[in-house]
Amino acid sequence: MQFASQLPVTLYKYWNLWGKALIGAQWLFTGRGLGASNQFESCAFIRSKAGVDYPDIQYHFLPIAVRYDGKVAAGGHGFQAHVGPMRSPSRGAVTLRSGRPEDAPVIRFNYMSTEQDWVDFRACIRMTREIFGQAAFKPYVKSEIQPGAAVQTDDQIDAFIREHAESAYHPCGTARMGRRDDPMAVVDADCRVIGVDGLRVADSSIFPRITNGNLNGPSIMTGEKAADHILGKGMLAPLNAEPWINPKWQASQR
């Protein structure tokens, strides 16, 4: 979601050839400056409603109003929040296209294939509007660029989602870990491919379910753990740290 800014405090002033060259040169020769950051330095995990015992919405904030691929910027100072529900119930698949190994597989992400996804995304958009409507943002928010203040009904929000929803590049779970007698499992608890000798998989494809957040950290951990298995290292001492849960989660959203 994008908002126009009342104050000239965003990265828009660098959205020109000279500005980009200056930032690039500073990073190239000094390793510092705006080019040393991907600018996603503010994020949040929040609960969408009462009765949810974990943060099921993720945010990250960008101090410029620009498309996710960086190709198109809004015409002036602005900022945006990328928001989406965590642990979507939709499920896709990667399957063989044919018996020929040279043929590319069939990849179906199957986004937004359950009604719950639509319900959750509507909640995300309305929650974002509430956040940027707070007094703390009043000096900065000029207007809502997209989806726009006129987009209010479920059908209007659904049309916006259908046009603008993106993946954020975090697919996983196509070669899930499980017991050797599980017909849906590809690898066992030691990351060994079931039925194949001398082959392991050590990446996010082995996750039985997507994690509640970005996959980079868990993927690194998976590689480290697989390396321990290969090297024959023993188990680390158990550490079962309990996450903090709002004691009022059953009755209150915040």
Active site residues: 170
Exposure string over 207-224, b if 16+ CB within 10 A, otherwise e = beebbeeebeebbeebee
Q: Give yes or no for a contact between 142 and 107, defined as CB atoms under 8 angstroms apart.
A: no
Answer yes or no: are the C-beta atoms of 112 and 118 closer than 8 Å: yes
Q: What are the φ and ψ backbone dihedral angles of 151, each rounded to 5 degrees?
A: -85, 100
Q: What does the alpha-carbon distance between residue 189 and residue 228 come to, in Å, rounded to a whole number?
A: 12
Q: Which of 46, 39, 98 is nearest to 64 (CA)?
A: 39
